Structure 1
Amino acid sequence: MRGWQRLLVAVLAALGVVGGATTAQASTAPGYYLLMNRQTAECLDVWGAATNHAATVGVWRCVGADNQQWKPVYVGEGYYEMRVLHTDMCLDVAYASQTAGAQVVQGTCWGGENQQWRPVHVVDGYYQFVARHSGKCLDKSGSGHAVQWNCHDGWWQQWRFL
């Protein structure tokens, strides 16, 4: 089974685990999903619905707004660009940093490895997203910002498709 097919099966399985549709789920555009953080039950969000390159990404209450809807676009070898609906920009590790704690932002999609993420199933429909360029995981910092961090089993690195 190809990577995109595995992801599709996993997404459908996750939707089955979630149960009934919420208002946010019902309002997502076709092919787009909310990504809910396991620790906070908040969604990955471009803060303030900013439209600029390098705008802050963090977590916020799940409302299903366009700046919370992410589309996985397969780029090969198990990796995906995560494109946000309101700007069609990519989830991007700022400056292609290799550092743990580096900010994750929305950036103009250009095919860089710092914009490519491999979903790794953890448990119960939750995934870690591993950055191709660094091998580090998408994480929620204590302040709510999205960062990359050394991969571990913590719930702040676990995300569910809604």
Structure 2
Amino acid sequence: MNESSSKSKLREAWAITGSGHYLKECLELIQHRSDVDLFLSKAAAEVLPMYDFDVKSMRERFTCFRDTTASASPVGLFYQGRYRRLVIAPATSNTIAKMVWGIADSLVTNIYAQAGKCRIPSIVFACDTEPEMETEAPGGMVMVYPRQVDLDNVKRLQDFEYTSVVTSYAQLLSTLDELD
């Protein structure tokens, strides 16, 4: 089997954190893909129902891993060569801070660390990227004012190997297309 046909059979790991920022759009995007395995942070599992997404139906549609074990056992799939890339979209400031400082104590931060160790490219859709932003909350649109430390961590993450940080939904779409 040649390398391109082998790569085409690899799956995409898609991690969702507890952010509502472009959450609906990200979920609509993966609905059209048949090659996605979902990785849900504890916060994502809590937040999805707040936005009227049914985790049970997602588990029926996708292979779905939840943050329920201390060792984050699904990371082994990265070492087995199952994935061609990792997408973390949307990614909260908390997740980004942990990734920047090498803290791999949750499912999402652990798979990010392991993807890097396996030289699997990651696309991270950062939520808090401007000093003032309008974003969707469960009750509707709200203004948020990210802290300087959050903005700085996004910049730091942009320098990481095997990591593409995107700061808009349009940029997420174009980066996904570029790397397909």
Under a length normalisation based on structure 1, what TM-score does the superposition of the two structures give? 0.29
More helix by proportion, 1 or 2? 2
More strand by share: 1
